[in-house]
Chains A and B, each alone.
Chain A
Amino acid sequence: MDEPRATRLVETALRCYPARWRRRHGEEAAELAALLIRDGTPAASIAWSYLAGAAREWLTPRPGRRLSTVACALLVAACSLGVSAGLLAPAAPARAAPTRAASTGQARASAHCRPGLPVPVPGVVAALGRPQVIIWEAAHGRSC
């Protein structure tokens, strides 16, 4: 690997460290890498060592990092909750409607074997207190 590319590779790995670490060791670490490359150490192995070091540095608990860790955990929890709610929201009415419709035998009987006809299901709308909703019941291929 030519020197500019090796230098870029190492610099990229060094950018993975926290800013505090880079301020403290950044220049020295880049110079050390240059000396090791001059000695014949492969740039990829130096970069890999710095990458592993950066991962360790981020994962090592620090007193000042507690708040940000908590903030990150909260953010992740909020995101996962949001995604779960988003996935569940469209599925819930579709699952709930047939259950309620099943309890109204008359409506079910009239809707049976008449695919494509809109059948208002009494009870559902009243319970929700919303404008009337038309529920389309699909035909049951087995009995018709």
Chain B
Amino acid sequence: MAVGRRDGRAGQDVLRRVGEASVLVLISLADGPKHGYALIQDIKELAGVELGPGTLYGALDRLERLGLIESLPADDRRHPYRITAPGAAALRVHLDSLERLSAAGRLRLQLGGI
């Protein structure tokens, strides 16, 4: 069910439909593996968004099903999660798409003189 294996849609923005929480989790994991508590703290600092634990596990399950992250062996009772290569590629595509959208929005604001 992983994105790359399933349909091979390289370059397509698969993160468009996974929801904000999943994107935030991927961004948080981009600089190294983290477990649930560290993810919640990091996302709070990074984006000012306080993810509920239920939302977090929903996002982790979704991303894992898509093959964008993987769970590492547990240390104590905590499972750290790591971004996979398809996950990093999907995040790059999504951030590029957001960048283009952001640039277009700024340009239109400029043209509109608002």
**Interface of A toward B, CB cutoff 8 Å:** 21, 25, 27-29, 31-33, 35-36, 45-46, 48-54, 56-57
B interface residues, tally (CB under 8 Å): 16
Decide if A28 touches B52 in the complex (CB within 8 Å).
no
- Chain A residues whose CB sits within 8 angstroms of the CB of B58 once the complex forms: 53, 56-57
Decide if B54 touches A53 in the complex (CB within 8 Å).
yes
Near A by CB (< 8 A), chain B positions 28-74 give 35-37, 40, 52-58, 61, 74
- Chain B residues whose CB sits within 8 angstroms of the CB of A28 once the complex forms: 35-36, 74, 77-79
Decide if B37 touches A32 in the complex (CB within 8 Å).
yes
Decide if B77 touches A33 in the complex (CB within 8 Å).
no
In the complex, what residue of chain A is closest to B39 when comparing beta carbons? A32
- Chain A residues whose CB sits within 8 angstroms of the CB of B36 once the complex forms: 28-29, 32
Decide if B52 touches A46 in the complex (CB within 8 Å).
yes
- Chain B residues whose CB sits within 8 angstroms of the CB of A54 once the complex forms: 54
In the complex, what residue of chain B is closest to A49 when comparing beta carbons? B52
- Chain A residues whose CB sits within 8 angstroms of the CB of B77 once the complex forms: 27-28, 31
Decide if B54 touches A50 in the complex (CB within 8 Å).
yes
Nearest 7 interchain pairs by C-beta: A53-B54, A49-B52, A49-B54, A50-B54, A32-B36, A27-B77, A35-B37
Instruction: Offer 30 A-B interface pairs, CB within 8 angstroms, sorted by A.
Output: A21-B61, A25-B57, A25-B79, A27-B77, A28-B35, A28-B74, A28-B77, A28-B78, A28-B79, A29-B57, A31-B78, A32-B37, A32-B53, A32-B56, A32-B78, A35-B37, A36-B37, A36-B40, A36-B53, A46-B52, A48-B52, A49-B52, A50-B53, A52-B52, A52-B54, A52-B55, A53-B52, A54-B54, A57-B58, A57-B61
In the complex, what residue of chain B is closest to A51 when comparing beta carbons? B54
Interface contacts beyond A32-B37, A56-B58: sample of 4 additional A-B pairs, CB < 8 Å, sorted by A? A21-B61, A49-B53, A52-B54, A54-B54
In the complex, what residue of chain A is closest to B71 when comparing beta carbons? A24
**Contacts A32-B36, A35-B37, A36-B37; A53 near B78 (Cβ below 8 A):** no
In this complex, which of B36, B40, B53, B55 has the most chain A Cβ atoms within 10 angstroms of its Cβ? B53
- Chain A residues whose CB sits within 8 angstroms of the CB of B79 once the complex forms: 25, 28
- Chain A residues whose CB sits within 8 angstroms of the CB of B40 once the complex forms: 32, 36
In the complex, what residue of chain B is closest to A33 when comparing beta carbons? B53
How far, in whole Å, are A51 and B52 apart by their CA atoms in the complex? 11
Rounded to whole Å, the gap between the CB of B18 and the closest CB of chain A is 13
How far, in whole Å, are A49 and B54 apart by their CA atoms in the complex? 5
